Each structure stands twice: as C-alpha cells, then as structure tokens.
Structure 1
C-alpha cells in the first residue's frame, strides 16, 4: 500500500516514516505538515492511505479537508485520545480508522492493512458509541424526548455544557461539588443515550432552536 503522513511535528513524521519504511508491504511516498503547501503535496503524491496526526489542536480540520477534497483517499487518524468524543469527532471528519495514543506499530500496520482493503476499522467500544450516537440523532429527527425527562438541575447543567464550561467551572457557577457535577453529567448522558459531554451540548443546542 502507498502511504503518506500528515502532521505538524517533523520529528514525529520522520519517525513514523522510518518505522514504516522497514515493512515490505508499505511504500511511504512522503510526509507533509498540515498547511496549504502540505495539503497540496499530499494530493500530488496520490497515496492510498494518509496517516494524520490529530494530536495538535486544529489538525482535524485538515483531516476533513483531505476527505472532502480527495474522496478516493482513505485516512487514518493517529494519536487519538481514548474517548468516545474524540474518536467520533475524527470519524465524523471522515477518518476510516483511529489509532489511539497508546497504540503500537503492529496495531498501526494492521489498521493500515484493513483500511487499504476498504474496511472501516472500529473497536467494540467505538462501535457502541456510534450506535448510541445514531440512536440519539434518530430520536432528535423524530422529535422524540428522553424516556426519563431531565430534571431542572440536569437541564441547567446541560445548558452550561452547551456553553462550553468544564465540570470545575460548572461547580463554581452553581456552588456545588465537582463530584456532584460529574454525577449529573453521567445521569444526563444515560438518559439521553449519549457517549460524551459534547454530544449532550449538541443535544441541548438542538432543543433551543
């Protein structure tokens, strides 16, 4: 398979490139940074798969730009935090697979093999989060409300989540313990069948429209 690497840190790109160059089944065409020139370079290389380091903030925009501008290229997000929110954000940006921060070279190579063969690679936990996300989106489109309504306090916390506040900031705003906020957030996610706080924020924003 023909692979290219997109990432902000040159040392990271060169390290991945050197590791993959030792494998007979992989041809590394080149690497680039996620700026305009780098994106142009990736397009000119014409790889089968692009590895995108999504660790730095804002690189997911490059991931989305690649998948939108070059629909024939498969992308793998690497360095993804082990959370439903981050994984689903990468998949929504068009990644065909995600490799977590603690993934090793053998896992990366197996992921590349499956993606090059046309598969979308998801762990069982990621699949579960995606199904929950789809269920909530379907409920929203049908105007379905949660089986157990949110309490007034949960509604209040959902609104603060939509405003981008952290648990600690919410605790200060409402004069309650951080542990209490965490319990409320957990209950909100359970009632809404959501996998992360960003999805709860999106749900609340949809209700306000």
Structure 2
C-alpha cells in the first residue's frame, strides 16, 4: 500500500484531492497541509511514501524544493495545470520524480504514485516528448552554434583562417583569391552560422574543429 500526503496552497483543492485519494483501496491517504513551515512539518510527521505537491500557484516551486530537501527519502509528484516543457523541466530540476496535469484521471494518478514509490520517474508521453525536445535544445546550446546548412569546403578553410587570426587580405593572399571573394565567403559563413561577427565565427571553428590551421613563418 502506498502512503500519500498532499501539499498545496488552496485548502478546497487539498480537501477534494483527499476525498479522491481516499477511494482507491491500494492508497493510504494520510493527510494534507499548506506549503508553509508548519505544513511541511505536519507532512513530515505523517511519514508518507510520496507527497503530491500542487505547483499551479505562483511560487509553488519553492514549496516543492522544500519538500524534496526537507523530507529525504520521500518521493514527490508535481501536479500542475500546464504541461509546458519549461514547467515540467523546472519541477524535475526542483526534485520531483513525476509530473502530472489536472487533465489526467484518478487511475492514472494512482498508477503514477505507485511507480514513483517503486523508484520510477513518470511523465505522460506528451510531456516526455516535450522533455526530449527541451533536452535536445539544451544540448544544442551546450555544443554551441550549429550551421543552418553545411559550410562548403572553401568556407571551412576560410573559417579556419579566421580562427588563425588572418585578415581578409591575408586570407586572399594565402588562397590566391580576391579580397572581395573572401568577404563574400565570410558573409556566407556568418549567415549560415547565424552570427554577426567574424570573431564569433573564429570561436565557432575552434569549438567545432579544435586548433586552427598552423601558419607558415612570416605569413601574418
């Protein structure tokens, strides 16, 4: 049997949730409390397996963090009105083991509580998809700029020479092309990378390929 308590700002919400969670025979509903210090102390004394935390009101993430840090060993499930990627990720970062929305039914909530107690981390398929999208975006930000379309071999050469610190004239001399041609390539590189400065393109080359090409003595 899973021992459950509810923490939330709105009393009528807590009472209704208490009535709903008292129905399933496999749930032992222990009680509910507000998100202040006294409420968290009350929840701690109940010794629940899992605490269902209402994260809909503004500032509720702070309550979620207090529960996850103040009740070690107790699992938390966040329940909110919105299942946006940012909202879910914020709750998981605050320590929630699962996130459910108010659109789900009671049987789904009960199953989530059981899975969380067994050590699982649970989200709906739509929320899971959103999390993967968000994590992919974070990974992209961590890796740095990704070109909208691949750079040509010549553009890769020129971006490497930018990283080596060469001017347009010096690049043209090395590659035996006109300065205006170098400028056109630099503009194309910046457009593809979504950058505005050649210094940023130079940094991108170093982050992507490593050390810039070596220069011959006196080439600068």
- TM-score exceeds 0.5: yes
Q: Deviations over 1:162-197 (max 9, x none)?
A: xxxxxxxxxxxxxxxxxxxxxxxxxxxxx9xxxxxx
User: Offset at 1:139?
Assistant: 4.0
Q: After the TM superposition, which of the residue ranges 1-10 and 127-136 deviates more from structure 2?
A: 127-136
Normalised to the residue count of structure 2, the TM-score between the two structures is 0.62
Q: In structure 2, what is the equivalent of residue 177 of structure 1?
A: none
Q: In structure 2, what is the equivalent of residue 116 of structure 1?
A: 117
Paired residues of 2:3 and 2:30 also in contact (CA < 8 A): yes
Q: Deviations over 1:109-156 (max 9, x none)?
A: 1111211211100223322332333334344444x213339xxxxxxx
Q: Larger radius of gyration, structure 1 or 2?
A: 2
CA RMSD across the alignment: 2.0
Q: After the TM superposition, which of the residue ranges 54-63 and 85-94 deviates more from structure 2?
A: 85-94
Pick closer, same or farther for the CA change 1:71–1:140 going to 2, 3 Å.
farther
Q: In structure 1, what is the equivalent of residue 10 of structure 2?
A: 9
Count matched residues: 149
**Structure 1 stretches lacking a partner, 5+ long:** 150-190, 192-209
Q: How does 1:133-172 map to 2 (within 5 A)?
A: 133-142=134-143, 144-148=144-148
Q: In structure 2, what is the equivalent of residue 63 of structure 1?
A: 64
Is 1:92 paired with 2:93?
yes
Q: How does 1:22-101 map to 2 (within 5 A)?
A: 22-101=23-102
Q: After the TM superposition, which of the residue ranges 67-76 and 130-139 deviates more from structure 2?
A: 130-139
Pick closer, same or farther for the CA change 1:84–1:140 going to 2, 3 Å.
closer
Q: Deviations over 1:49-73 (max 9, x none)?
A: 0011111111111101111222311
**CA distance, structure 2, for counterparts of residue 41 and residue 82 of structure 1:** 29
Q: Secondary structure at the match of 1:91?
A: helix
**Structure 2 stretches lacking a partner, 5+ long:** 150-192, 194-220
**CA distance, structure 2, for counterparts of residue 40 and residue 59 of structure 1:** 17
Q: Deviations over 1:66-124 (max 9, x none)?
A: 11222311111113403212112111111111111212212211111211211100223
**CA distance, structure 2, for counterparts of residue 19 and residue 123 of structure 1:** 20
**CA distance, structure 2, for counterparts of residue 103 and residue 127 of structure 1:** 15
Pick closer, same or farther for the CA change 1:113–1:60 going to 2, 3 Å.
same
